[in-house]
């Protein structure tokens, strides 16, 4: 289908014209200085700012046959908001660096902006895009930086889990990984290339899994609630529960024992599925759990494995073990 | 030349191993929470944070035949530090998203880290890389976010220039553009593809121009000095003096009259050369100029052109005029 003449490519527009289309879709700004100057100025009410950055690259991280511009904007916001939430902080602003091929349609860029805004409005009200950068690239890339405020709370690190703590999760585990498997299994052509998703052909469960992959809804407000409830450690589950729990265990010098019976109907998917963007946290006791969290295990003294599943070493995929395999700090 | 076996590609290393090599070169962290958790936590002593992002993409923004990893890291830091300085702020932290092909050598990544650190140490002591993200991409891309503190100052916007102000610049104008011209004119093969620069074959002037292009040294501390001296408007000169001055004029509702006699031996290059990362500022009077700044013109009542050169409309390249051409806000 030939695009209508009202949908030029970004190569046919000036940077100012593209920016105008984006800004028109980002909504208002509560920043002290919002978009349009050399830099934004944001309130950091308690004298600290939380900052994280995460990039989605066409190819490894998303495919245009599978993700709309709206999906891409939403996911780029959501995965960064989750990292702010994982510190116990409230997201306050996004900065978005968008690198695009010249033949990208303006309507696609507008959808990205709409997805960014919608994710902020839905997941972290009060947070908005306050700055950014537009560049040309052969590879469509969106690099988002999220900023947040702890509002007087202590940041919740990965390193604070202690033996005797309970381990709990907020958000879904395994669905996003299942959504990716659906894309790979059912929406590729004979050559293995992605083809458009026929959303109408999906049952409710599959549609939910696909949504978890393409447009994740991490439990942002639950991160602040966990901090208020005395969480001793917290992190975003982005690479699968076993792998991320092993990182928390390594940082804390403990072993985390996961009870697979608490992982629902598909414990294997929950243990290893990536891109959940759930929150994994340790709490002093099961009595103190805030709404949104459910117990999935416990912290024990450091043993020979970082993570146990039902008391035993986990041998399945994703059973990477920092006590055995770690070759550098930081993960 | 076959790389030595001690220089693996990033595709041959785990993410943790790459990160370890990077962190070892970034130096210490003064952050409240530095690299290694879901997000960094940084001091924002006066309750505000300044934030900006700028991306360098292989192809449009740099070429590997011309830029070393060190150059790339240096420039990615410098251009972002300049945007913080342009608000009158002190850079406090960088977040770096590095997207790399799998065949990128580990030594190259180490050089990028060394360049990032060296630029911070040289231009903005106390600022360091406090977070980041590593991803795979077909297109080498470095997206940097810089954060800064105003330390109680009011941010200096583009919009505060008033008739009667003097217009001044800190930093070099035109050299970076001349450096780019040297690369295009003298370091491409018959097919127009970049070839390695023979630095030994360059005279002092050309070497300095090339350094201004590949490893710019924006006058970061002068931004704070300008704010302290009462600058009414300030911005980073990244797209050429005439174009950026016209943006300041448009934001301020004034006309800026540039005196070409103050631009040194090559006024045309100074008027239109890009990537200077000098600071353009307006001050109430020439008496109040801080060290580092020199007067190059004056602010007059808004006329029919945003920028004048020697009292007349500027007809040369870069003579883009927001009063005539502007098709959107912000750009």
Question: Residue B29 has what pLDDT?
Answer: 86
Q: Which of B12, B146, B171, B165 is nearest to B79 (CA)?
A: B146
pLDDT in tens, A10-37: 999 988 899 999 999 998 888 999 999 9
pLDDT in tens, A212-227: 999 999 999 999 999 9
Residue A307 is inside which H or E element, if any?
strand A307-309
**B272 marked ligand binding residue:** no
Which residue in B21, B55, B330 is closest to A143 by CB distance?
B55
Is residue B45 domain-shared with residue B123, that is, in the same domain?
yes
Confidence of residue B298 (pLDDT cuts 50, 70, 90): very high
Taking a C-beta distance cutoff of 8 angstroms, is the pair A144, A74 a contact?
Answer: no
> Tell me, what CATH number does B81's domain have?
3.30.1330.10
Domain presence at residue A195: no
Taking a C-beta distance cutoff of 8 angstroms, is the pair A177, A240 a contact?
Answer: yes
Domain presence at residue A196: no
DSSP A290: P
Which residue in A42, A99, A251 is closest to B57 by CB distance?
A99
Domain presence at residue A288: yes
Q: How many CB atoms lie within 10 A of CB B92?
A: 25
Q: CA dist A279 to A267, B40, B93, Å?
A: 17, 17, 26
Find chain A residues with C-beta within 8 A of B44's C-beta.
Answer: 44, 47-49
Question: Residue B328 has what pLDDT?
Answer: 34
Find chain A residues with C-beta within 8 A of B86's C-beta.
Answer: 38-39
Is residue A129 domain-shared with residue A164, that is, in the same domain?
no
* pLDDT reading at B54 higher than 90: yes
* pLDDT reading at A311 higher than 50: yes
Cα separation, A323 vs A7, in Å, equals: 54
Is residue B256 domain-shared with residue B138, that is, in the same domain?
no
Is residue A265 domain-shared with residue A316, that is, in the same domain?
yes
Confidence of residue B130 (pLDDT cuts 50, 70, 90): very high
The DSSP bridge partners found for residue A49 are B42
Which of B11, B33, B49, B76 is best to mutate for the A interface (most A CBs within 10 A)?
A: B49
**B206 marked ligand binding residue:** no
Question: Residue B315 has what pLDDT?
Answer: 78
* Domain assignment of residue B110, given as a range: 10-149
Contact residues, A window 120-179, toward B, CB-based 8 Å cutoff: 130-133, 135-139, 141, 143, 145-148, 150, 155, 157-159
The alpha helices in A57-167, defined as continuous H runs, are 69-85, 106-123
Between B83 and A3, the higher pLDDT residue = B83
Is residue A139 domain-shared with residue A242, that is, in the same domain?
no
pLDDT in tens, A271-305: 998 999 999 999 999 998 999 999 999 999 999 99
Which residue in A48, A87, A138 is closest to B138 by CB distance?
A138
Is residue A122 domain-shared with residue A265, that is, in the same domain?
no
The alpha helices in chain B, defined as continuous H runs, are 15-23, 69-85, 106-123, 175-186, 204-214, 220-228, 241-252, 267-272, 322-325
Contact B150 A41 (CB under 8 A): yes
> Tell me, what CATH number does A229's domain have?
3.90.650.10
Is residue B120 domain-shared with residue B34, that is, in the same domain?
yes
Contact B19 A44 (CB under 8 A): no
Confidence of residue B322 (pLDDT cuts 50, 70, 90): low
Question: Residue A2 has what pLDDT?
Answer: 61
Angle at A201 between CA A196 and CA A206, to 5 degrees: 90
* pLDDT reading at A93 higher than 50: yes
Cα separation, B111 vs B124, in Å, equals: 19
Contact B331 A20 (CB under 8 A): yes
Q: Which of B31, B9, B53, B15 is nearest to B142 (CA)?
A: B53
Average pLDDT, chain A: 93
Average pLDDT over residues B30-52: 96
Cα separation, B165 vs B283, in Å, equals: 5
Average pLDDT, chain B: 93
Is residue B168 domain-shared with residue B111, that is, in the same domain?
no
Taking a C-beta distance cutoff of 8 angstroms, is the pair B238, B277 a contact?
Answer: yes
Domain presence at residue B280: yes
* pLDDT reading at A182 higher than 70: yes
* pLDDT reading at B331 higher than 60: no
Confidence of residue A134 (pLDDT cuts 50, 70, 90): very high
**B83 marked ligand binding residue:** yes
CB contact, 8 Å: A278 with chain B?
no
Which residue in B20, B54, B158 is closest to A330 by CB distance?
B20
Count Cβ neighbours within 10 Å for each residue of A39-57 and write b for 16 or more, e otherwise.
bbbbbbbebbbbbbbbbbb
Question: Residue A331 has what pLDDT?
Answer: 31
Cα separation, B160 vs B52, in Å, equals: 20
Is residue B97 domain-shared with residue B165, that is, in the same domain?
no
Is residue B164 domain-shared with residue B297, that is, in the same domain?
yes
Cα separation, A54 vs A95, in Å, equals: 11
Q: What is the DSSP string of A197-229?
A: --GGGS-HHHHHHHHHHHS----HHHHHHHHHT
Average pLDDT over residues B147-160: 98
Question: Residue A41 has what pLDDT?
Answer: 97
CB contact, 8 Å: B28 with chain A?
no
Residue B93 is inside which H or E element, if any?
strand B90-100
Query: B210 by DSSP, 3-state: which?
Result: helix
Taking a C-beta distance cutoff of 8 angstroms, is the pair A273, A239 a contact?
Answer: no
Between B6 and A330, the higher pLDDT residue = B6
**Residue B11: both structure tokens together:** 């595709």
Q: CA dist B64 to A72, B7, B70, B107, B226, Å?
A: 29, 17, 11, 14, 36
Question: Residue B22 has what pLDDT?
Answer: 95
Confidence of residue B320 (pLDDT cuts 50, 70, 90): low
Between B23 and A1, the higher pLDDT residue = B23
Contact A330 B36 (CB under 8 A): yes
Percent with pLDDT over 90 in chain B = 88
pLDDT in tens, B166-194: 999 999 999 999 999 999 999 999 999 99
**Min CA distance, A205 vs chain B (Å)?**
30
Domain presence at residue A47: yes
**Total domains present in chain A:** 2
Domain presence at residue A331: no
Contact B20 A329 (CB under 8 A): yes
Domain presence at residue A91: yes
Find chain A residues with C-beta within 8 A of B60's C-beta.
Answer: 135-137
Is residue A235 domain-shared with residue A296, that is, in the same domain?
yes
Contact A52 B14 (CB under 8 A): no
Find chain A residues with C-beta within 8 A of B159's C-beta.
Answer: 37
Domain presence at residue A201: no
The DSSP bridge pattern shows strands B90-100 and B128-136 to be: parallel
pLDDT in tens, A263-278: 988 899 999 989 999 9
Q: Which of A208, A223, A142 is nearest to A177 (CA)?
A: A208
Give the domain-ending residue among A118, A149, A180: A149
Question: Residue B199 has what pLDDT?
Answer: 87
Contact residues, B window 196-235, toward A, CB-based 8 Å cutoff: 235
Is residue A28 domain-shared with residue A118, that is, in the same domain?
yes
């Amino acid at each position: 289908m030939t695009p209508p003449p009202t949908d030029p490519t970004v190569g046919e527009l000036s940077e100012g014209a593209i920016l105008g289309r984006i800004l028109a879709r980002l909504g208002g700004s509560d920043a002290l200085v919002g978009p349009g100057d050399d830099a934004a100025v944001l309130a950091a009410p308690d004298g600290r700012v939380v900052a994280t950055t995460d990039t989605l690259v066409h190819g490894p991280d998303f495919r245009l046959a599978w993700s709309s511009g709206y999906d891409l904007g939403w996911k780029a916001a959501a995965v960064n908001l989750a990292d702010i939430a994982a510190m116990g902080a409230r997201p306050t602003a996004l900065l978005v660096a968008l690198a695009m091929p010249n033949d990208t349609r303006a309507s696609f860029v507008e959808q990205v902006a709409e997805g960014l805004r919608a994710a902020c409005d839905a997941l972290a009200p009060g947070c908005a895009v306050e700055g950014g950068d537009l560049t040309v690239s052969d590879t469509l890339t969106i690099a988002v930086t999220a900023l947040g405020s702890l509002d007087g709370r202590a940041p919740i690190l990965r390193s604070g889990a202690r033996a005797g703590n309970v381990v709990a999760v907020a958000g879904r585990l395994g669905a996003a990984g299942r959504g990716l498997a659906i894309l790979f299994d059912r929406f590729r052509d004979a050559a293995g290339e992605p083809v458009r998703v026929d959303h109408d052909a999906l049952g409710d469960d599959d549609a939910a899994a696909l949504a978890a992959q393409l447009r994740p809804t991490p439990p942002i407000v639950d991160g602040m609630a966990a901090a208020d409830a005395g969480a001793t450690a917290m992190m975003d589950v982005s690479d699968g529960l076993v792998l991320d729990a092993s990182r928390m265990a390594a940082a804390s010098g403990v072993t985390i024992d996961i009870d697979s019976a608490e992982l629902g109907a598909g414990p294997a998917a929950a243990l290893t599925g990536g891109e959940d963007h759930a929150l994994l946290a340790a709490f002093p006791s099961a009595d103190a759990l805030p709404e949104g969290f459910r117990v999935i295990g416990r912290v024990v003294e450091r043993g020979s494995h970082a993570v146990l599943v039902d008391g035993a070493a986990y041998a399945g995929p994703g059973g990477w073990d920092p006590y055995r395999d770690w070759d550098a700090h930081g993960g």
